[in-house]
Structure 1
Amino acid sequence: MDWDEFARWGHDITERGAAYHKGLRDRPVRPDVTPGEIAAQLPRTPPEAGEGMQAILDDFDSFVLPGLTHWQHPRFFAYFPANAAPPSMLAEMLVSTLAVQCMLWQTSPAATEMEGVMVDWLRQAMGLPEGWSGVIQDSASSATLSAVLTMRERATGWTGNREGLSGKGALRIYCSEQAHSSIDRAAWVAGIGQENLVKLPTTGAPYHGVDVAALRAAIAADRAAGHVPAGIIAITGGTGIGACDDLEQVGAVAQETGLYLHLDAAWAGSAMICDEFRAAFWPGVALCDSVVFNPHKWLGAQFDCSVQFLKDPIQQLNTLKIEPEYLKTSGAEVVNYSEWTIPLGRRFRALKLWFLLRSYGLEGLRTRIRNHVTWAGEVCEALRDRGYEIVTEPILSLFTFRGPGDDAAQQRLVDAINADGRIYVTQGLFAGRKVVRFQVGQFDTTRADVMMAVDVIDEIAKGLT
């Protein structure tokens, strides 16, 4: 392909993209395919000769696109959103076209310097303290792993990387039972182990935060037993039901015990650009050492884009920085963000944040988030009025409910809703019971899209009884 062809096909693909998004409401949210069906349409061996782009795109239209779950569908109410606002997509096209590698300042100065400014724009927007800095990670999982590794090194006197963990004692991490599974995985990968991830009970409604008395007692008991408490992971907006810890209380425990405190706000952190949500959920956030949120969820930045804020980046640098001669920057004091993260290679993720924030402004993004929270509350009340059990009340734009019947009936309801195709939801577990999760957050959804879900759920539930 020469560059003239590239330009022609690039225009064609952009037109296809616009048509795809404009027609999403006419598609089922989830495809009606069986496992192996797509793979069966792909040749078993690679081609020896090249093919034209038209043939490739024809096959894409024939069996790839119909085999996708449409995450940008305005009636996607499952999991959490993975939004991709149009300006963010355009930025990603540029990033893919430029194909720069941003591991060091000298390998892409503009990317490094823009990253620092974009992180600070978001710090200001979310009301975090002056002086905090941060880095753009690929996902909250990577940011949490970075924080857990920092906890580990801090607790071992910065000797774990050099000496290994043998003889260091049982390093202990503390979190709520509502914490995300990425925290379990971070404990595995960091060598701390599942048994040393201490999951604590919650105190119940309205926010289902961690039981701070139980947290304090667990740390004291572990120290008395000769274990080595290393850190605490708090949550704002847990995956299951949106659980939020009381950061003032958890932060006080962290300060009393000298433990590193990381906050996982992957989904709900975006809402903290709104003053009212910050006032409700984030008092005490300044007591954290590390905070992660995903602009690629609710804020509209295309995946992947996760921001980790750091009160003192030196601790994470002391954990992750490794600088062979061939990666040194000569003659200048610069920031190299690859030293702040686990991967060496880095994409130009800051560009899509720059496009996004300039295109919508903070107030445009706040309006969307406020609408989603309001509409989720309206759906919740409409389902309650029709006799559904609201198991957990809305926390921001997420709530859970149950239809008629036992746990098996709840799964049948979820499966039937998703097979219908008009909306998409997921199941969950809370207090040992199967629930239906419902969250509002897709970037282009409307109130009509959201309220349609009430009729779809009720119609399908009645058809199953």
Structure 2
Amino acid sequence: MEAPEFREFAKSMVDYIADYLENIRDRRVLSDVKPGYLRPLIPDSAPETPESWEDVMKDIERVIMPGVTHWHSPKFHAYFPTANSYPAIVADMLSGAIACIGFSWIASPACTELEVVMLDWLGKMIGLPKEFLACSGGKGGGVIQGTASEATLVALLGAKAKKIEEIKVLHPEWSENTIISKLVGYSSSQAHSSVERAGLLGGVKLRGVAADENNRLRGEALEAAIKKDLEDGLIPFYVSKK
């Protein structure tokens, strides 16, 4: 695909997206297809020659849309909103065009610095103390993760690494395996399954603390659990509210 065809295809896709979102309430929210519906509708192997974008667009309605759960429908009341918007869609187009990988500052200075600044914006919006912000000049600041589950795991691994280093100073005679065996984290008994999964991937114990009658994690219950674990010689290091 060259630039002239891209311009035509992109304009067609914009029209399709706008029509889709404007008329999404007319679509069935939950797909009624059966598991395995897709395979008979597409080739067994990847095509060796390209198809026209007109044919690809036809396949979107023929193959893809029958198996889509329409999260942005006003009739969708499950899970959580995915925060889509027309500005976000346009921004995705630009992001896809630039296609930088911001794994370090030099890999894309604007990418790295914009992330830092915008997460400070978010921190200020939700009232975080200045110590949590990069602009404080300290160790604060955030990074964007791909999913909430990924963020939970990253937070747990960060807390684990920090606590291990702290305990090594206090008990240089302990091996790292000994320290890890004593670590314990906490979450509500109503927490998302990704919290338990983070504990499994992080190789640490996670304790579910009983929630109250409103399914909330209460400070008194958490305090009691931490106190008992300290008495048992364990090392609390992490609390998840998710």
Is TM-score (shorter-chain normalized) higher than 0.5?
Answer: yes
**Bigger relative contact order (CA 8 A; separation at least 6):** 1
1:403-414 matches, within 5 Å, as none
Shift of 1:98: 1.7
Q: Which of 190, 197, 212 is the aligned partner of 2:206?
A: 197
Q: Which of 204, 227, 236 is the aligned partner of 2:234?
A: 227
Contact 1:172 1:229 in 2 (8 A): yes
| Superposition CA RMSD, Å | 2.0
Q: Do residues 217 (structure 1) and 224 (structure 2) align? A: yes
Q: Do residues 147 (structure 1) and 150 (structure 2) align? A: no
SS at match of 2:142: strand
Shift of 1:165: 4.6
What per-residue deviation string (whole Å, max 9, x for no partner) do you get for residues 29-53 of structure 1?
1122111112211111222222222
Contact 1:71 1:83 in 2 (8 A): no
1:160-179 matches, within 5 Å, as 165-168=176-179, 169-179=181-191
**Alpha-carbon spacing, 1:55–1:81, altered in 2? closer, same or farther (3 Å):** same
Q: Do residues 135 (structure 1) and 140 (structure 2) align? A: no
Q: Which of 197, 200, 210 is the aligned partner of 1:188?
A: 200
Q: For the residues of structure 2 that align with 1:221 and 1:158, how far apart are their CA atoms?
A: 21
1:2-401 matches, within 5 Å, as 2-132=2-132, 133-157=141-165, 165-168=176-179, 169-192=181-204, 196-205=205-214, 208-233=215-240, 235=241, 264=242
**Alpha-carbon spacing, 1:158–1:2, altered in 2? closer, same or farther (3 Å):** farther
Q: For the residues of structure 1 that align with 2:150 and 2:70, how far apart are their CA atoms?
A: 25
Shift of 1:164: 8.2
Shift of 1:190: 0.8
Shift of 1:78: 0.5
Aligned residues: 228
What per-residue deviation string (whole Å, max 9, x for no partner) do you get for residues 145-191 of structure 1?
1221122122222689xx98522233110121111111111101111
Indicate the structure with greater strand content.
1
What per-residue deviation string (whole Å, max 9, x for no partner) do you get for residues 374-427 of structure 1?
xxxxxxxxxxxxxxxxxxxxxxxxxxxxxxxxxxxxxxxxxxxxxxxxxxxxxx
Q: For the residues of structure 1 that align with 2:175 and 2:50, how far apart are their CA atoms?
A: 50
What per-residue deviation string (whole Å, max 9, x for no partner) do you get for residues 351-378 of structure 1?
xxxxxxxxxxxxxxxxxxxxxxxxxxxx
Q: For the residues of structure 1 that align with 2:207 and 2:166, how far apart are their CA atoms?
A: 22
Residue number in structure 2 paired with 1:279: none
Indicate the structure with greater helix content.
2
Q: For the residues of structure 2 that align with 1:72 and 1:124, how far apart are their CA atoms?
A: 28
Letter in 2 for 1:149: L
Shift of 1:216: 2.0
**Alpha-carbon spacing, 1:7–1:171, altered in 2? closer, same or farther (3 Å):** same
Q: For the residues of structure 1 that align with 2:125 and 2:224, how far apart are their CA atoms?
A: 36
**Alpha-carbon spacing, 1:115–1:211, altered in 2? closer, same or farther (3 Å):** closer
Indicate the larger mover: 24-33 or 53-62: 53-62
SS at match of 1:136: coil
Unaligned runs of 5+ in 1: 236-263, 265-465
Residue number in structure 2 paired with 1:325: none
Letter in 1 for 2:207: V
**Alpha-carbon spacing, 1:159–1:190, altered in 2? closer, same or farther (3 Å):** farther
Contact 1:153 1:159 in 2 (8 A): no
Q: For the residues of structure 1 that align with 2:47 and 2:114, how far apart are their CA atoms?
A: 41
Shift of 1:118: 1.0
SS at match of 2:184: strand
Letter in 1 for 2:154: S
Letter in 2 for 1:24: I
Residue number in structure 2 paired with 1:312: none
SS at match of 2:177: coil
Shift of 1:81: 1.2
Letter in 2 for 1:153: A
SS at match of 1:31: coil
Q: For the residues of structure 2 that align with 1:95 and 1:225, how far apart are their CA atoms?
A: 51
SS at match of 2:165: coil
Residue number in structure 2 paired with 1:449: none
Q: For the residues of structure 1 that align with 2:175 and 2:145, how far apart are their CA atoms?
A: 25
